[in-house]
Structure 1
Amino acid sequence: MSDAITAAEFTAAEGTDDWRVLERSAVAKFATGSFGAGLRLITRIGVLAESANHHPDVDLRYETVTVRTTSHDIDGLSRRDLLLAREISAAARELSIEAVRGEL
């Protein structure tokens, strides 16, 4: 049984306001304000990804972190991406890091 979901299902799900679906991935950009804050967010993302055994692509810049998640085994979005996206957004909020909405 596949855990594939559509872009519309991902977007309509609770807890995905920080994320945009681009092609077959979900992408979010977070305004960290500093390299150190970005490292703290990436550390949290790493722990979440290892726990879920589902690993996103992460791009660290001086004042931003961009995260892209997709399920390579199904070449698209899955419930695993949805759950990880929610957890990443929650981790960012706990670190007082806001998403940059509308800009990717």
Structure 2
Amino acid sequence: MTEDQALTEEQIQEFLNTYSAWELRDGWLRRKFGTPGWSHTLMLVNTIGYLAEAGNHHPDLNVGYAAVTVKLQTHKVRAITGKDTSLAQKIEETVLWQPAEDSALDGFPKKWVH
């Protein structure tokens, strides 16, 4: 598969079965993340921006006071490709990370990104 080849409906559904907080709507993979407030929203946007730049694949973001909606589609082909699911997986893995119960780290005391 070439890097800009659109994924099949089955491949997209497989991704959605694994990452159930994501949805396919209007030809875009979407996920809304909630945050405790504005400062965390900005940190989330910066983290997603860093991952997108590192991967050289850029989502559309809608930013509010305590929420960020990520929209992924490979603009060049106007379809969902492996680039989109790979970036979505990396975003999910990174922004939802929390220290383990037995970690020396305490973790943020309020409801974190969700």
TM-score class, shorter-chain normalisation, is 0.7 to 0.9
* Larger radius of gyration between Structure 1 and Structure 2: 2
In structure 2, relative to structure 1, the CA distance for the partners of 1:87 and 1:15 (3 Å cut) is farther
Higher RCO structure, 1 or 2 (CA under 8 Å, sep 6+): 1
What RMSD over aligned residues (CA atoms) do the two structures have, in Å?
A: 1.7
2:101 corresponding residue in structure 1:
none
Q: Amino acid of the residue matched to residue 75 of structure 2?
A: H
Matched residues, number: 98
1:42 corresponding residue in structure 2:
45
Gaps of 5+ in 1: 99-104
1:79 corresponding residue in structure 2:
82
Q: Which runs of 4+ in 1 moved over 3 A?
A: none
Pairing of 1:61-72 with structure 2 (within 5 A): 61-72=64-75
Gaps of 5+ in 2: 99-111
1:17 corresponding residue in structure 2:
20
Q: Amino acid of the residue matched to residue 58 of structure 2?
A: H
Identify the range of structure 1 (40-49 vs 88-97) with the bigger mean alpha-carbon deviation. 88-97
Q: Amino acid of the residue matched to residue 57 of structure 2?
A: H
Q: Secondary structure at the match of 2:86?
A: helix
TM-score (norm 2): 0.77
Identify the range of structure 1 (2-11 vs 43-52) with the bigger mean alpha-carbon deviation. 2-11
Contact map agreement 1:7 1:77 (CA 8 A) in 2: no
